[in-house]
Homo-oligomer: A and B are copies of this chain.
Amino acid sequence: MITVTFLGFGNVNHHLCTALHKKQQVSVKQIYSRNNIRLSSEIDSIPFTRQLSQLQPADVYIIGIPDDAIASFSEALPFRDKLVVHTSGGVTMETLSEKNRKGVFYPLQTFSKERAVNLKTTPICIEAGNEKDRNLLQKLGVVLSHQVVSISSEERAKLHLAAVFVNNFVNHLYAIGADITSQSGVPFELLKPLIAETARKIEDLSPSEAQTGPARRKDLNTIEKHVHLLHDSRYKELYKLLTESIQKSYGKKL
Contact = CB atoms under 8 A, between A and B. Distances in A.
Interface in A78-122: 90, 108-112, 114-115, 117-118, 121-122
Interface stretch (A34-42, A57-65, A230-238): A230-238
Given A183-B158, A238-B241, A177 B163 contact: yes
Contacts of A111: 212
B162 A207 contact: no
A20 interface: no
A229 B110 contact: no
A171 B207 contact: yes
A109 B161 contact: no
B184 A159 contact: yes
A234 B208 contact: no
Question: Which of A90, A199, A234, A246 has most B Cβ within 10 Å?
Answer: A199
B159 A181 contact: yes
Contact of A178 (B155, B206, B245): B206
Given A159-B190, A162-B181, A165-B173, A201 B123 contact: no
A151 B206 CA distance: 33
Contact of A234 (B125, B176, B206, B245): B245
A203 interface: yes
Contacts of A207: 171-172, 174-175, 177-178
A175 B206 CA distance: 8
B155 A185 contact: yes
15 contacts: A108-B190, A112-B205, A158-B183, A161-B226, A161-B230, A162-B178, A165-B180, A169-B239, A169-B242, A171-B211, A175-B249, A178-B206, A178-B207, A178-B208, A192-B202
